[in-house]
Structure 1
Amino acid sequence: MKRNIRGMTLAAMLLSASASVHAGDQEYADAEQASQAFVGDLGVQQVAHNSTHVGNLSSYSPVTVGDMQLGSTVSQAGCTSCDSFSCDGGCDSSCDSRFGSGKRFGRLLNLCDKDGWIRAEGMIMFMEARTAPALVTTADPTEFPVLPDPNNGAGSGATTQVVFGEELDGGVSGGTRFDVGRYLSDNFGIGGRFMWLSENGDDFSASGNGTGDSIGRPFFQIPLAAPGTASESALIVNQFSTNPGINSQRGTVNASFSTDLLSAEAYARMMYCKNKSSRVELIGGYSFFRVDDNVSISSRTTDVVTNTFLADYSDFDTQNEFHGGQIGYESLVSRGAWTVRMLTKVHMGNMSRTVTNYARTDVGVDTTITNTYNSSLLVDENQGTEEESDFTFIPELNLTLGYRFRDHVSFTVGYNFLYFDKVALAGEQINRNVDGTDGPRNIDPADFDFDIVDGSLWVQGISLGTTIDY
């Protein structure tokens, strides 16, 4: 009995001494808070978290009396804050009691109890080169700017070069992408994403005053009366003539192509599996894509002697709209301030394609137009608007590396890839075969009918951005 009394007395003295030391250091804000700390009281940790102790919490050492430990671990060795995802337990231990709810989704950027995200990225993207027939050619002076054709005799088109057409490469395009979302529970969240790429294309122009290199617009002549004699030909834009019976021609030609892309998504994400430093989530939702493509070409040729002119304009415009669903997964691995994220999805749905071909030809003298026709060198019966749709897939891959340079904010750099199948591209709708009818003509709108040619298009590039957790 005396030993027990001595033990209790010793414990009371130790507690009294500890409280006195803390009181001398002004670690208790008032007597009421100080009275909350006693042996076995689980509220000791809460007192510490409420900053009733002054000084570095990580230096607080539990006091053991017998088999009982006063308080619990306030901060783990080497951890300076609950944001340290690399600490043992991460957001599953001390942060839970500190923040109450103990939500884990702040792990996305090594933060505790953060269940929303905003991602903004600038994109530098490359599009696959589109294809089209040879639309503008040049040749040496006095040479006919026709494409090489054995049917025209040896050496025909030997100096001809294609200066617009065949491969339409728009180079680099800039764009933006935004991703905003929020977790509604520990295992389920919703979000939305929007992407826009600026116009990917180029312009071309060439002109002459009746001298210099020959400029032409090539086509393939198919005489109706003798289809077996089909051969390459060209509409002259500029050429110097040495033949007495043929006048020189002067003129200009302008051409352009462009492709625009935008998308919008609404999705949900659900936890599939996770551990201390990685996670995998399943993603599903709605997807919308739109790809617009255009090729246009116009020329004006004037006879240098008679001043008669022929102005020819052709425009090919396509719109591709995709509505469907998406399914995929996103995996994330974190090491300290670094994160690696991989998003793999496939969009499945209906691709609606609309193709509109427009043509106009003006004939006149000097500045006076004497006749106008709704056809052109490249557009005869195959003009107007056609629509069709098919079921298709759009695979997508995003790989992103992020660095958290401060709480809540990370810098990211990533690689992005998209592939579109069954899209109508303007250059592939151009048919350079001319049926041999002499001169431009008016087309009855009832004859507007043509087949849509399907193609494919990939887009890839890098993104630089910022991620904010809230």
Structure 2
Amino acid sequence: METKKSTKWKLLALAAMLTTGTASAADQGNSQISQYYTGAAPLNAEAGEIVYDDVDYSSEQENLASSMYDDAQALQPVAFVGDHQVGSGVPTPAPIMDDSYVVTEGAGCSTGDCGSSYEMASSCGSACGGSCGKCRKRPVRGMMKKHDMWVTAEALLWFTQARSTPALITQNTAGADPELDVPGTSVLFGGDEAIGGDMTAGFRIDIGRDLSDDFGVGGRFWWLSESSEDASSGGIVNGNAQSIGRPFFDTNIGSDNSVLIASTGVPGNDDFEGSYTAESSLDIYAAEAYARMKMLSGSGFRSDLIGGFSHFGIDDTLTVRSTSIQTTNALGGNIGDRTDIFDQIETENRFYGGQIGFDTSITRGKWTLKSLTKVHLGNMEQIYRGIGSRTFDDGGGAVTSTDGGVLALGNTYNTTDLDEDKFTFAPEANIKLAYQFRPNVSMSVGYSFIYWDDVLLSGDNINNVYNGDGITFPAAPLVQPVSERKDSSLYTHGIDLGCVIDF
């Protein structure tokens, strides 16, 4: 009993002196004093939190402590700044370990130094003879580190809103005119059948750094691969099976008309063979720079205020080509006369503005539920670019080209008359569930939605109303009434599959 009482007093003296030494070092300006931990970090310890020695010197380890610290009066105050020991005379307290102390009996001490992974619990000289004391496993030195940077990489599987356009390619049975107002005419591309809307792949990357516990900065970039839809005749086709044409509204007759691509026996027309291709594509990307500030926090809960700069790019391109080759000359022209018509309409939308919103996370064990809601406000620069051309070859070597196709009148690439700037907003929402399968790596699955209220799309700004006499050989100028710009809305949404790395 007397031995146990003496040992407890020595341990109390040791604890008091260690505390005094630590406080003394702090008073001398050592603001980075680090406490060490002798076992596994507690489950509820947060990154950067100070944790303390939890060695239990009672019961089995009493004799071990007694043998290590025989004279409490000889102990010197000690503190640690980083890995630097202030004071002397006391063995280095154990740091954070990968696992707790492993204590073995004398049988493991036959070599005198307990092997490379162990050290003697008491001094036994050059050899312990296999029975002079206990061994303890050397811990791996390491400090609790705070993760202040993050990298998030996500694969995007998104669906973009389908886009509308007038009927661009039509067909009817052989011998019937493929005009929109003729019974039996169907649309091969455009019209009531919307373009796009299929799943598009992309990626998103988010990189940032916490400057303090309450404030951080970051940047985000995401991009969707080209969303496209096309139709093609697959080469030169004749009109024996069906009539194919490019529809327009003819101001000369005040009704629908069409440029024949392939036809046989259509009343009032010679026969033609030809080909067509039509394609619509949409590209979207975004770049952001933001700051985040903690607003609310609690046990496993945090909500940050987000604010920063936003930039979006939305490009919509529509291209149609057609070739018509005359195969009869009963009504005029020559066999072999060829007409090539090309139309391309591009719209560019460039958003520059700010963003504000909230980023909230709830953590339970290894699971984290995150939500991001924000709105982008700013200027949308809208640019229209259209080019149309007709090329006529009379089969005898005479080739004539002129501006103006069926969809685009002339060349507007070098003008800015149709460009406008609009104030617009774009709400965005994201929710994801993440699982932490390693200390600094998480995998996530989520859903994202973003909507732009004012964009310029090519299909909505097609003007196919003009005088049909112009599309003849020899070339004649096209006359087209002025059309109004039409603004539209656009959204995209879908699934996110991601990986988050903190370091």
Same fold (TM over 0.5): yes
Is residue 353 of structure 1 aligned with residue 382 of structure 2? yes
1:233-312 pair list within 5 angstroms: 233-241=257-265, 246-305=269-328, 306-312=335-341
Who is 1:413 aligned against?
445
2:387–2:409 contact (8 Å) kept in structure 1: no
Shift of 1:11: 3.8
SS at match of 2:174: coil
Do structure 1's residue 217 and structure 2's residue 246 form an aligned pair? yes
Aligned counterpart, 1:226: none
Q: Does the 8 Å CA contact 1:170/1:258 hold for their aligned counterparts?
A: no
2:362 pairs, out of 308, 333, 336, with 333
Distance 2:146 2:71 in 1: 29
Find the aligned partners of 2:396 and 2:442 in 1 and give their Cα distance. 62
Cα deviations by residue, 1:204-263 (Å, 9 ceiling, x for unpaired): 10152232111011111122xxxxx511111110011176x7431100011100000111
The residue number in structure 1 matching 2:200 is 173
Over 3 Å counting, the alpha-carbon distance change for 1:159 and 1:52 in structure 2 is: closer
Deviation at 1:397, TM superposition (A): 0.6
State the partner residue of 1:73: none
Q: Which residue of 2 aligns with 1:425?
A: 457
SS of residue paired to 2:306: strand
**TM-score, normalised to structure 2's length?**
0.71
Distance 1:239 1:188, change over 3 A: same
Code of the aligned partner of 2:259: L
Q: How many residues align?
A: 397
Distance, in Å, in 2 between the alignment partners of 1:367 and 1:332 is 74
Compared with structure 1, are the counterparts of its residues 49 and 282 closer, same or farther at alpha carbon in structure 2 (3 Å cutoff)?
A: same
> In structure 2, what is the equivalent of residue 131 of structure 1?
164
Which residue, out of 232, 250, 254, partners 1:205? 232
Q: Deviations over 1:12-62 (max 9, x none)?
A: 48889959964976x89x958997998x99999x935455996279xxxxx
* Alignment pair present for 1:404 and 2:436: yes
2:146 corresponds to which residue? 113
Q: Is the 8 A contact 1:264 1:289 kept in 2?
A: yes
* Higher RCO (C-alpha under 8 Å, 6+ residues apart): 1
Structure 2 distance, partners of 1:204, 1:35, is 91
Q: RMSD between aligned alpha carbons?
A: 3.7
2:93 aligns to what SS in structure 1?
A: helix
Q: Report the 3-state secondary structure (helix = DSSP H, G, I; strand = E; otherwise coil) of the residue aligned with 1:428.
A: helix
| Aligned-pair CA distance for 1:173 | 0.9
Which residue of the partner structure matches residue 136 of structure 2?
A: none
Cα separation, 1, equivalents of 2:98 and 2:346: 71
Letter in 2 for 1:250: E
**Structure 1-normalised TM-score?**
0.75
Q: 1:165 to 1:35 in 2, by over 3 A?
A: farther
Instruction: Give the residue type in structure 2 aligned to 1:406.
Output: R
CA distance in 1, matches of 2:271, 2:167: 23
Going from structure 1 to structure 2, the CA distance change for 1:453 and 1:369 (only over 3 Å counts) comes to farther
Which runs of structure 2 are paired with 1:2-21 in the superposition (5 Å)? 9=6, 11-12=8-9
- Change in Cα spacing, 1:33 to 1:454, as seen in structure 2 (3 Å) is farther
Cα deviations by residue, 1:37-91 (Å, 9 ceiling, x for unpaired): 98x99999x935455996279xxxxxxxxxxxxxxxxxxxxxxxxxxxxxxxxxx
Cα separation, 2, equivalents of 1:267 and 1:433: 47
Matched, 1:188 2:215: yes
Q: Provide the residue aligned with 1:468 in structure 2.
A: 501
**For 1:82-161, what aligned pairs fall within 5 Å after superposition?**
99=143, 113-148=146-181, 157-161=182-186
SS, match of residue 241 in structure 1:
coil
Kept in 2: contact 1:382–1:449 (CA 8 A) = no
Q: Report the Cα offset of residue 179 of structure 1.
A: 0.2
Report which of the two structures shows the higher radius of gyration computed on alpha carbons.
2
Q: Which amino acid aligns with 1:202?
A: E
Q: Please, which runs of 5 or more residues in structure 2 have no aligned partner?
A: 15-55, 81-89, 104-141, 329-334
Give the partner amino acid of 1:270. Answer: M
1:322 is aligned, of 312, 336, 351, to 351
**In structure 1, what residue type is equivalent to 2:466?**
V
Query: Relative to structure 1, is the Cα distance of residues 242 and 257 closer, same or farther in structure 2, using a 3 angstrom cutoff?
Result: closer
**Offset at 1:188?**
0.2
